[in-house]
Amino acid sequence: MKLFLIYSRKNEETEGTMTLSSVFGFRSPERIFRKMGYFGDQRGILRRYRREQSGWDIHLQNTQSFAIRSAQDKDRRSAIVLGSGWLLDVPLKELSAMFGKVTLADIRHPAQVRRRAEQLCNVTPEICDISGFARSVYHYAQQYRRSRKRPPLDSIAPDRLPELSDYGFVFSCNILSQLSSLLEEYLLQYFEIQDEELMAFRRKVQQLHIAGLPKGRSCLVTDFEENTFRPTGEDPQKNILIDHPVIQNPHAQRWVWHFDTRMTYSPGRITSMEVLAVQL
């Protein structure tokens, strides 16, 4: 497979020469990812699920069911899940039974996930910057954070994007709306950025991700609209998360994800997400 890896546990075990430093080109990418908030964000997802399980379970089941249906007529040699996370929304056993090899791609694989993968001989967790921009954004911020002038965000190019052409089935799993969020938060720690520039950068990250999904072999599940309102139902507010024509696809399956009812995500407000699932 040509998937660009930051690190592969199996490569470490069998080859002994492929390390995080040698692939990524600097001393400690784990430290960089931690500083950029990736690890804390992943832990936060699990904590929110535990608080909001009843509201999340329908969304997770809908995601799994859609992935299974989408995989039915695909080449059974290999599949990849982009954004596997804690596997809450991944039908791992079913995909393992359907495909000769299943790759789980994410920035970090918790110990629980690695143990589940080890129980299935054809599942491999591989660490991958799915956005392709983490390294580029880090270096941009470090280079210009003390400068009075900086190049526009549009000048930031992806370091490397995952190469997905060899996979029979590609599942983009509730990751699209998140791809740029931590990158944006990291940039905002150092720079004052106008909304228009930030939205253009977000659009670029999202468009490159969708463009990289092989046509006829991919499915995409993503939240695309955030809705918040007060417990009384008053003062509804809407935030569009995805800027791409895919959200208008008339063939997409849609549902509501009851994301946060305890008002910890947006204080004093209940949050739900509009979700779409589509084969590409």
C-alpha to C-alpha distance for 254 and 186, rounded to whole angstroms? 31
**b/e burial code for range 128-146 (CB count within 10 A of at least 16 → b):** bbbbbbbbbbbebbeeeee
DSSP state at residue 65: H
Q: What is the tens place of the pLDDT at every residue in 179-225?
A: 999 999 999 999 999 999 999 999 999 999 999 999 999 999 999 99
Pick the residue with more confidence: 193 or 147? 193
pLDDT digits (tens, 9 = 90+) for 101-118: 999 999 889 999 999 999
For residue 167, pLDDT over 70 is answered with yes
pLDDT of residue 240: 95
Task: For 101, list phi and psi in degrees, rounded to 5.
Answer: -145, 140
Report the alpha-carbon distance of residue 166 to residue 261 in Å, rounded: 41
pLDDT in tens, 82-91: 999 999 999 9
Question: Which structural domains are found in the chain, ordered by start?
Answer: 7-279 (3.40.50)
Torsion of CA 246, 63, 271, 240, to 10 degrees: -10
